[in-house]
Amino acid sequence: MMKNTVTKKKLAFIKKLAQKKYRKLHNAFVASGAKTVLALLTSSAYSPSYIIATPAFTKQYPEIASQYENIWHIAPAAQYKAADTLSTNPTLLAVFACKTLAVPYLTTRDRMLILDNIGNPGNLGTLVRVADWYGIKDIIASPTTVDCYNPKVIQASMGAIAHVNVHYTPLLPYLQHAKAGQIPIIGGVLRGANLYQTTLPQYGGLLIGNEAIGIDKSLRSYIQYPVTIPAVGQAESLNAAIAGAILCDHWQRVI
Amino acid sequence: MMKNTVTKKKLAFIKKLAQKKYRKLHNAFVASGAKTVLALLTSSAYSPSYIIATPAFTKQYPEIASQYENIWHIAPAAQYKAADTLSTNPTLLAVFACKTLAVPYLTTRDRMLILDNIGNPGNLGTLVRVADWYGIKDIIASPTTVDCYNPKVIQASMGAIAHVNVHYTPLLPYLQHAKAGQIPIIGGVLRGANLYQTTLPQYGGLLIGNEAIGIDKSLRSYIQYPVTIPAVGQAESLNAAIAGAILCDHWQRVI
């Protein structure tokens, strides 16, 4: 097997991909960690352009190393740690091309998450993981939502980013279109119907709002099913990803 | 009102409280952010020993500032930012005494979360917030679980740490005692009964395991209700805090 070496210039390039402007410029993102990178490699949706692995990892997975021989680079963790902003223990890192697909419209045959202005990358990554758990393939996100190729989003999704598409589009026209097509929209709100006493529609969209201010006022009239998770204790709110997961779980049981 | 000044020595002390060994040594922890600090101040369970606020915050809450006049210190954010490791925009910070209570035993009249080796502070903080949402007052945690006074736990709990007690104790004897008292234990596991088809007991303990390895083998035989959240998609697992929240939500609906 060829022994490709990692150049300093390439490491500087990889490090820059932690910033959104460089991801846009190069249409590329970095994934790190064996679980995440292997999920992306085995998904047909993502093509790697550059891989760095530790000698130990390469030895452990010789088939993968030879499959990607041309772009496989071996380097000890210490050598590329500076380019890997999140891993405490780097083993495998890869650069992939970002994916941009046409925004799918909601139909009465599928379920999508619709995210309004989710700001925390950990929350978005967790919601991607939750969507994947519940078999939701597409997430529609407002342009104000954090970039799904942010390294912290990729990390929190635990590989689920390989199976779930995140589409960025303005939500107002998107919801207007859904309304015209009579597609039901569920929304997690503060003073809605008791979730435990609501029969959710089988299909449609589930709208989750910003961590601090919830769903934008301009979008609220498009929610046909405004629901609230009843609080028993003193907490004022639930984390957006937690609320999204509980709503997905209830939704799942409708089928 | 007296104008107390913040000394460099005090700032160095506060900064050190981000480390567990100093929290143990001084039996103190730091909370930052208006929401969290105000929740702790209004809870009778926590006593502040030192407060730093920005001039703007002090002006906005003159009653609180005068109530704590002796320990209230005014400093611009820039001055104490180095001591506040997490806030991007410091407004209010306080040092509180850690609370150590006798570990409560489970009875057939209440509900507790039991956490085995939760390692991620964000997960513990989120679980504290979830417990508070569902009216659960006590969390029993293995000694290997991250410290509940870790600044990231406090931050993720969004003030809920003021209402929920986290007790650290070895789980094996704890669960043995519960078993002897015939207190039901629910456990979130990978291959348990389908959660949607299980009738959960009204009271008892809900056991959540470590992010990577789940519930320790030595504890599994103490679970009377091993339950699994059914997966539809391709995700291998759910985040521990998400799984805990979904289980709490199902549990809530038993009452």
pLDDT tens for each residue of chain B, 255 residues long? 556 888 889 999 999 999 999 999 999 999 999 999 999 999 888 999 999 999 999 999 999 999 999 999 999 888 888 788 777 778 999 999 999 889 999 998 999 999 999 999 999 999 999 999 999 999 999 999 999 999 999 999 999 999 999 999 999 999 999 999 999 999 999 999 999 999 999 999 999 999 999 999 999 999 999 999 999 998 889 999 999 999 999 999 887
Tell which residue, B65, B24, B61, B63, has the closest CA to residue B48. B65
Chosen for mutation from A111, A242, A253 (greatest number of chain B CBs closer than 10 Å) is A242
Q: What is the 3-state secondary structure (H, E, C) of A61-111?
A: CHHHHHHCHHHEEECCHHHHHHHCCCCCCCCEEEEEECCCCCCCCCCCCCE
Contact A252 B233 (CB under 8 A): no
Which pLDDT score, from 0 to 100, does residue A2 have?
57
Tokens of A210: 């910003």
Alpha carbon distance A45, A63 (integer Å): 20
Which pLDDT score, from 0 to 100, does residue A87 have?
78
Interface contact A212, partner B, CB < 8 A: no
Which pLDDT score, from 0 to 100, does residue A1 have?
53
- Using an 8 Å CB-CB cutoff, list chain B residues near A113: none
Contact B126 A230 (CB under 8 A): no
Residue B253: what residue type? Answer: R
The DSSP result for B101-129, as a single string, is -PPPPP-TT-EEEEES----HHHHHHHHH
At A245 the three-state DSSP class reads helix
Tokens of A240: 């957006």
- Using an 8 Å CB-CB cutoff, list chain B residues near A42: none
Q: Which residues of chain A have pLDDT under 70?
A: 1-3
A231 burial type by CB count under 10 A (0-12 exposed, 13-18 middle, 19+ buried): middle
At A51 the three-state DSSP class reads strand
Alpha carbon distance A3, A5 (integer Å): 6
Specify the residue for token string 């913040």: B6
Residue A140: what residue type? Answer: I
Tell which residue, B254, B253, B255, B243, has the closest CA to residue B113. B243
Angle between helices A240-252 and B240-252 (to 10 degrees): 60
